[in-house]
Amino acid sequence: MNIYRKILIAIDGSKTSMHALKEFVNFSKSYNPDITIISVIPPYDGDLNALWVDNIDSSIKRQCDIALSDALKIAKDADVSVSAVCEEGEIHERIVDFADSGNYDLIVMGKKGMSLIEKAFVGSVTSRVIGYSRQDVLVIPFESKLSWDNILIATDGSAYSEVAAMRAIEIARKYKGKIKILSVVDVTVEFMIRAQEVYNSLVEKAKDITNDIKARAFSLGVGAEPVVRDGEVHRVILDVANEYKINMIVMGRLGKSGIKRLLMGSTTERVLGHTTCPVLIVKP
């Protein structure tokens, strides 16, 4: 993946983060990027005395060291050269700041299985990193496989989804993958019945969007198939991914500020909450 030359992989010692690490380092053997593994020690904000705090800090630091030791072994077994660093602070902030200061191209993270509440409400480190980072973020769910053979591009014709589409085409071209280009007409059945002409115009617009991306993909030698569906966007994306046995979903992320970065509800977060295949979130 020559598009990404400097990679930051965030781990916490969990099975999910180690799975993401293993998948990425095994995949990266073909092009030898610059990989750094980061684990972050969260600050202790309790009111215990200094001795207890020191003991807690030492215990957490040992956990960080163990996680990085295990991570280095995974990389060594894959014959991939990496560096490792243990940072301290708010986890998502340190990951984002480290990625910025080191001029990284991509952040890689795992995703655990989430409860119904977690799927509907932001709070995870992964979601916060996606919200605040300026880098593309690759999220690899537990037990999923990292592959670029069959890519789904979700687009609504916006500038940020266009950037994501071109990134997906570049990657598909590099790894001889094929792409499905999905645009969703998000209207209710009642709207379809009461405003048929408007609905038809929305469908035609969606077809134009997907056909334009298809033409650009074809011009670069990448096979592409447009798909236009109606329904709730995140549900359609997940259904189409399952229908076509997609192994990578690529989506754009609109730049946001303040509290909007932390509010669940966007299509991207909803897809991340339910998908079982890797998702690449491309920043504008």
Do both 194 and 279 map to the same domain?
A: yes
Q: How far apart are CA 154 and CA 147, in angstroms?
A: 17
Do both 207 and 275 map to the same domain?
A: yes
Last residue of a domain, one of 76, 110, 143: 143
**Is-contact 79 34, C-beta < 8 A?**
no
Do both 62 and 36 map to the same domain?
A: yes
Do both 126 and 157 map to the same domain?
A: no
Do both 221 and 238 map to the same domain?
A: yes
**Is-contact 8 98, C-beta < 8 A?**
yes
Do both 135 and 174 map to the same domain?
A: no
Do both 50 and 159 map to the same domain?
A: no
Residue 263 has pLDDT above 60, yes or no: no
Q: State the DSSP H helix or E strand holding residue 251, giving kind and residue range, or none if neither.
A: strand 248-252
Q: How far apart, in Å, are the Cα atoms of 9 and each of 58, 65, 106?
A: 23, 15, 8
Q: State the DSSP H helix or E strand holding residue 103, giving kind and residue range, or none if neither.
A: none
Token digits of residue 114: 């989430």
Do both 170 and 254 map to the same domain?
A: yes
The whole-number pLDDT of residue 56 equals 53
Do both 41 and 106 map to the same domain?
A: yes
Indicate which CATH number applies to the domain containing 163: 3.40.50.620
Largest interatomic CA distance in the chain: 72
Q: How many domains does the chain have?
A: 2
pLDDT winner (highest mean) among 37-46, 180-189, 220-229, 255-264: 220-229
Do both 83 and 213 map to the same domain?
A: no
Do both 2 and 134 map to the same domain?
A: yes
Last residue of a domain, one of 109, 143, 177: 143
The pLDDT-based confidence of 257 (bands split at 50, 70, 90) is very low
The pLDDT-based confidence of 254 (bands split at 50, 70, 90) is low
Q: What is the mean pLDDT of residues 5-11?
A: 96
Domain encompassing residue 243: 147-284
Residue 258 has pLDDT above 80, yes or no: no
pLDDT digits (tens, 9 = 90+) for 40-94: 988 766 555 554 455 556 767 888 989 999 999 999 999 999 999 999 999 999 9
Residue 255 has pLDDT above 60, yes or no: no
Do both 100 and 139 map to the same domain?
A: yes
Query: What is the phi/psi pair of residue 87, to 5°?
Result: -110, 165
Last residue of a domain, one of 125, 143, 161: 143
Q: Given CA atoms 120, 258, 280, 160 in this order, what sign does their dihedral have?
A: positive
- How confident is the prediction for the chain on average, in pLDDT? 86
Token digits of residue 220: 């670069």
The whole-number pLDDT of residue 70 equals 96
The whole-number pLDDT of residue 33 equals 92
